[in-house]
Structure 1
Amino acid sequence: MLFQIKSYLQFLWHSKNEHAVHSPFVFNLLTKCFYDKKQKPEYSVLRAYRNSLLANTNTIEVTDFGAGSRVFTSNTREIAQIAKTAGISSKRAELLFRIIHYFQPESILEIGTSLGLATAALSLGSRSLGTKTKIITLEGCPETAKIAQNQFTQFGLTNINCAVTEFERYLNNIELEPLPFNLIFFDGNHSKKATLDYFELVLPTITNETLWIFDDIHWSAEMKQTWEIIKKHPKVTVTIDTFQWGFVFFRQEQPKEHFIIRV
């Protein structure tokens, strides 16, 4: 917790808003997407999705996997508590919705479904465009995935394919190159080794329009180191650090630039 407080204070000191950004691409992203304050009808669906989980006092057996698909945690938890502590916030869900609406990706991969709070935002963002966006979301815990799938059905989110699998095994076996993902949301394992392993495994899928979002880049000193390594990768051109999320772009026409932005 002390590390996160210190990291957040450093973030506030260095962060800027759109007025300090000279890249047209990033400026448009901030003004037309990140800072869009207009209410969307889909926000009420996201709130209803969250509230239905927060009202669920049933308990499930939760299993988490470490790097190399090694089980390191298995315990009984209340669904409402998982939604409260492990899911993304309402503000972040709305931002994720706007990002999908802005970039209009045709194929999305989410590494780490949990209860599907972020997945719902991905689905609603694509559905509002009337596109046939395909979403694959990966979850290692069968019981958690079952709850998420029930939620998807209840809220009519039909463009989601939830795969119950160990992340590394799935990424090692899937035919990635014929199916490039326009957007990948990394939210499944907050360790340096696992994150960098996933990074390398899906690197063959990138195109000039690809966007990757990494969750909890300031979660720990290890994750902060991971973020710095990702920023320096030769294929990465533009990154945006919003403290909780790190955005990575591979646009060849862009000069290599790193932004620290308040959201």
Structure 2
Amino acid sequence: MYSAFKIGKKFLHYYFTAANGKGHGVHSPFVFDLITKVLNDTTNHPAYTEVEEQRRLLLQNETVLTVEDFGAGSTKGLTKQRVVKQIAATSLKPKKYAQLLFRLVNYFQPKQILELGTSLGITTAYLAKANTNAVVTTMEGSAAIAAVAQEQFDALQLKNVNADTGNFDETLPELISKPESAFDFVFIDGNHRKEPTLRYFEQLLAKAINDTVFVFDDIHWSAEMEEAWEELKQHPQVTLTIDLFFIGLVFLRKEQKEREHFVIRF
């Protein structure tokens, strides 16, 4: 993981070199619509208030959890004590990006959504609220954290979330092996390392369609993740990418005549 200073420096470079966030000079109609109708949508959806209230409660929750961590920077199977409010403060996606996920789902209206990395369930709730007709499958490595996330789903009365707990290296292949599994929206936020990130993508391509939207979290979090992002951009099935610094969007659209990569200020 890069230091906070280095990430800040990288962000400043991104901010001053990225394409204008208003869509000026973007000649792709698909990307222009995405900028104007999704990135710049300022609608105050009712779901925002409901989900942010749960975030507020999590930030005050002093319950101590015994957490098993399988992600980057951890030893496999490492168990440690963590307080819910500390997890909420450090691991939850900021409101700006969590609500962008809501708008992406609201715009594309996917039917089968997959999230790798439930955490405390805030992004899951946004995904589920954005299209209540969709089925959201969310996967979390830690049983203790998944249990707290389930409390959020219950509080928000979410009926379209299926939660799966366990190491992704075991649970993801099992999910993919099911013949009915096919995903048109995938949010990967569970393991901030190059090899697993690329492996998950390759595995999920078998269950992707032309319109599947892949969202990768923290693409500039470390040198490894930046390498993974560059490899994703060059993947033969990827036709379009959008770098928003803290997250990256990947598209497989075959109607895209030329491969394009955008860096857009957000």
TM-score range, shorter chain: over 0.9
| CA positional deviation for 1:171 | 1.9
Equivalent-residue separation in structure 2 for 1:19 and 1:144 (angstroms) = 42
Q: Tell me the matched-pair count.
A: 258
1:240 pairs with one of 239, 242, 246: 242
Partner of 1:12: 15
Q: Report the secondary structure of 2:113's partner residue.
A: strand
For structure 2, the 5+ residue unaligned runs are none
TM-score, reference length from structure 2:
0.93
Partner of 1:199: 201
Equivalent-residue separation in structure 2 for 1:27 and 1:177 (angstroms) = 36
**Paired AA for residue 242 in structure 1:** L
**Paired AA for residue 224 in structure 1:** E
Partner of 2:170: 169
Q: Indicate if the aligned counterparts of 2:26 and 2:32 stay in contact, CA closer than 8 A.
A: yes
TM-score, reference length from structure 1:
0.94
Query: What does the per-residue CA deviation read over 1:155-195, in whole Å, with 9 as the maximum and x for residues that have no partner?
Result: 10111011012112122222256421000100000001110
Partner of 2:224: 222
1:179 aligns with 2:181: yes
Q: Indicate if the aligned counterparts of 1:123 and 1:159 stay in contact, CA closer than 8 A.
A: yes
| CA positional deviation for 1:95 | 1.1
Q: Indicate if the aligned counterparts of 1:176 and 1:205 stay in contact, CA closer than 8 A.
A: no
> RMSD of the alignment, in Å?
1.5
Q: Report the secondary structure of 1:207's partner residue.
A: strand
Partner of 2:116: 111
Equivalent-residue separation in structure 2 for 1:34 and 1:177 (angstroms) = 34
Partner of 2:139: 138
Equivalent-residue separation in structure 2 for 1:226 and 1:195 (angstroms) = 7
For structure 1, the 5+ residue unaligned runs are none
User: Which moves more between the two structures, 242-251 or 5-14?
Assistant: 5-14
Partner of 2:158: 157
1:61 pairs with one of 66, 79, 84: 66
Equivalent-residue separation in structure 2 for 1:206 and 1:177 (angstroms) = 13
| CA positional deviation for 1:66 | 4.3
**Paired AA for residue 81 in structure 1:** Q
Q: Report the secondary structure of 2:210's partner residue.
A: coil
